[in-house]
Amino acid sequence: MKDQFLFSITIEQLLHQRIGKGLGSNIVLSTQIKEYIDLFSFPLRVDAVVLLVCTKGSLNLTINLTEQVVTTNNYGISLPENVIGFNSVSDDFEGYILLLSMDYLRKLSIDFNDLLPYYVYVRNNPTFSVAPSNIETIIRYFELLSSLIEAEDTKRKNSIIDGFIISLINKLAEDFDYFALKTIQVKTKSKEYYYMRFVELLQQNFKQHHKVGFYAERLSLTPKYLSTLMKEVSGLSAPQWINDYIVVEAKTLLKFSDMNIMEISDYLNFPNQSFFSKYFKQHTGLTPKQYRSN
């Protein structure tokens, strides 16, 4: 079937591979990155927020086909819409990987409007450094989370873990406040609110809908105003965001799938292969055939 992204993985599938400890289809926590790097050796999507913490060594990965390096005292965070792949890990690497499914995060009592500025920052800055003492605190969080996951099932176990995850998210937000950005209150109908809503719509619809008007209509904005808002918040206009999503998807499929160019064109809802080829060359400088050959 070509109606779903070919390289995607769920938390349940990761747990089936015994990559780490988990809680149903909601959470995976692991220190076994070196042992399972082959599982992520080609770019894929996970319907989860992925948090990487490095305490020793380094991890080289790609997010949306752009190389990133997580080193000592670094956080690495990947959002669900991202295409993520692990390239290499140093022999002395030590650290944690935590995955939280989006369904699970939506069920928690979290004010997502309050988290919008962090979403904006992480989308453009997947890695950032913090003080060693902050990493030590997060490691203690992970160690306790590991114990909670392994604990005997009780009627309050899930509620305890839910509260603990909320505490962890707030701790990470505090680190962002101090090391990466100033605390910003995001109000409903603010620029940041529309940014988040646009990105959410985009990740769900970019394969089928390539025009700004589709997204503007659903946000009750004019296409020109939506594009201006996106430019002010993120530095990229709405058309640039749409093109970025389409091109990253096309590059990934050309590089890692066995779909032919016609199938990729259909999958991304272009009217024909010729139109897709012209579009791809306009944004990359190469035809799809040239990009695949390279």
DSSP output for 73-105: TEEEEE-TTS-EEEEEE-TT-EEEEEEEEHHHH
Per-residue model confidence as pLDDT tens digits over 50-76: 999 988 999 998 888 788 999 998 889
| Confidence category of residue 185, pLDDT binned at 50, 70, 90 | very low
The DSSP secondary structure of 117-143, one letter per residue, reads HHHHHHHH--EEE--HHHHHHHHHHHH
Q: Where residue 254 sits, what CATH number does that domain have?
A: 1.10.10.60
Q: Mark which of 179, 206, 225 sits at the end of a domain.
A: 179
Q: Which of 179, 199, 214 is the last residue of a domain?
A: 179
3 in any annotated domain: no
Residue 221 falls inside a structural domain: yes
Q: Which residue has the higher pLDDT, 22 or 148?
A: 148
Give the count of beta carbons closer than 10 Å to the beta carbon of residue 89.
20
Whether residue 186 lies inside any domain: the answer is: no
Say whether both 203 and 162 belong to one domain.
no
Whether residues 157 and 233 share a domain: the answer is no
In a domain, 185, yes or no: no
| 200 and 173 within one domain | no
Distances (CA, A) of 142 to 64, 145, 156, 171: 27, 5, 19, 12
> Which pTM value belongs to this model?
0.68
99 inside domain: yes
Is the residue at 214 inside a domain? yes
Q: Structurally, how many domains does the chain consist of?
A: 2
Residue 1 in domain:
no
Coarse DSSP helix, strand, coil percentages of the chain, rounded to the nearest 5 percent: 50, 20, 30
pLDDT in tens, 8-20: 677 777 776 677 7
The answer on 172 and 31 residing in a single domain is: yes
How far is it between the farthest Cα atoms of the chain?
59
Kindly state whether residues 171 and 199 are assigned to the same domain. no
54 and 130 assigned to the same domain: yes
The residue-averaged pLDDT of 30-39 equals: 76
Q: Which domain holds residue 150?
A: 8-179
**196 and 175 in a common domain:** no
> Which of 179, 213, 228 represents a domain boundary (last residue)?
179
Q: Are residues 49 and 174 in the same domain?
A: yes
Closest CA to 82 of 165, 9, 171, 190: 9
- Residue 173 and residue 235 in one domain: no
Any idea what the CATH number is for the domain that residue 16 is in? 2.60.120.280
Tell me: do 36 and 89 sit in the same domain: yes
Q: Which region, left, alpha or beta, applies to residue 187 given φ > 0 means left and ψ of -120 to 50 means alpha?
A: beta
Residues 206 and 282 in one domain: yes
Q: How far is CA 37 from CA 5, 97, 147, 190, in A?
A: 21, 12, 24, 40
Tokens at 53, concatenated: 């913490």
Q: How crowded is the C-beta side of 250, counted as CA atoms within 13 Å? A: 30
pLDDT over 90 at 236, yes or no:
no
Split at pLDDT 50, 70, 90, the class of 196 is confident
Q: CA 68 to CA 227: how far, in whole Å?
A: 28
239: left (phi over 0), alpha (psi -120 to 50) or beta: alpha
In this prediction, what percent of the chain has a pLDDT beyond 70?
88
Of these ranges, 109-113, 116-120, 275-279, the one predicted with the greatest mean pLDDT is 275-279
Residue 243 in domain: yes
For residues 265 and 209, membership in a common domain is answered with: yes
Task: Identify the pLDDT of residue 131.
Answer: 87
Per-residue pLDDT, 180: 65
User: 73 vs 7, 88, 132, 162, 209, CA distance in Å?
Assistant: 30, 18, 6, 26, 40
Residue 68 DSSP code: E
